[in-house]
Amino acid sequence: MLSRWFQRSQPATAAGERPRVEGRPARVPAGVRVYAIGDVHGRLDLYRQLEELILEDLARDGRLLDPLVVHLGDYVDRGLQSRQLLDHILHHSRLADWPRVFLRGNHDLWMRLFLAGEPVGESWLAYGGDATIASYGVPPRPDLPEEERLAELRHRLAERVPPAHLRFLDALEDAFVLGDYFFCHAGIRPGVPLAEQSPEDLLWIREPFLSWRGDAGKVIVHGHTVSEVPVVRTNRIGVDTGAYITNRLTALVLEGEDYRFLTAGG
């Protein structure tokens, strides 16, 4: 059942709710249109479709605007084309002429830690790292004992990951702020000032963030937790629509005080 992957009881927008700060509608600076892209997870096919939707959207009514693309992290794992997706983002993206911000997701960190020799291999492989390894052409080697198998996979993967991919993963940012919005992968720790948030929470948190209804001084835009449709609250917008399992990849569009969504796939 797909339902076990979804965050439940989260309609797109509860009645009367819209992103707000200090009692007024949240906004981005005048003349800027932001496209915040949710978790891609190796779905290059959907990413290409979303690129075209974004280009069409800007061409339709945004020729005088300054576009900005913010990626909310989790480029790798679970989907079948992690390597191909990173190649595309780095060398072939239709959005490469625009300013782009690349945030770090927990899966991107997991991959980097595995390559660095940290003892995360079993967890990473169980939660999608196996698909990433396959995308780099590394065979799974189930014939080897566990410790030897992980060492072999790490060695083979390190041989095949291009230096440009490593530089990309190392350069990812944990958070980004623009106007009344704070962008991160997973969310924030309620009660902690935004400038003091820990990288661990920014990449991994779910509760108590998801059920929190307080005001952080910015509206939090995040991915990480899958919902069937984007989630809009007064204090947060969740954009992870589970591309790897739902066949839907979503971008949040912010302009002035307005927000809307573009979705590629089903």
Quick: pLDDT tens for 128-143: 999 999 999 999 888 8
Looking up tokens 């003349």 gives: 31
CATH architecture of 2-265: 4-Layer Sandwich (3.60)
- Confidence class for position 96, pLDDT limits 50, 70, 90: very high
Q: Strands, E, within the chain: which ranges? A: 20-21, 24-25, 32-37, 66-71, 100-102, 175-178, 181-184, 219-222, 231-232, 236-238, 248-255, 258-265
Q: How far is CA 141 from CA 77, 124, 154, 167, in A?
A: 18, 16, 12, 27
Looking up tokens 């997706």 gives: 85
- Any idea where the domains of the chain sit in the sequence? 2-265
- Confidence class for position 1, pLDDT limits 50, 70, 90: very low
**CA atoms in the 13 A half-sphere facing the CB of 8:** 4
Max avg pLDDT among 54-68, 132-146, 161-175: 161-175
What is the dihedral sign for C-alpha 26, 205, 211, 72?
A: positive
Helices (H), the chain: 44-61, 82-87, 106-115, 121-124, 130-135, 146-160, 163-171, 199-204, 243-246
pTM: 0.94
Q: How far is CA 64 from CA 11, 33, 46, 60, 104, in A?
A: 34, 10, 27, 11, 30
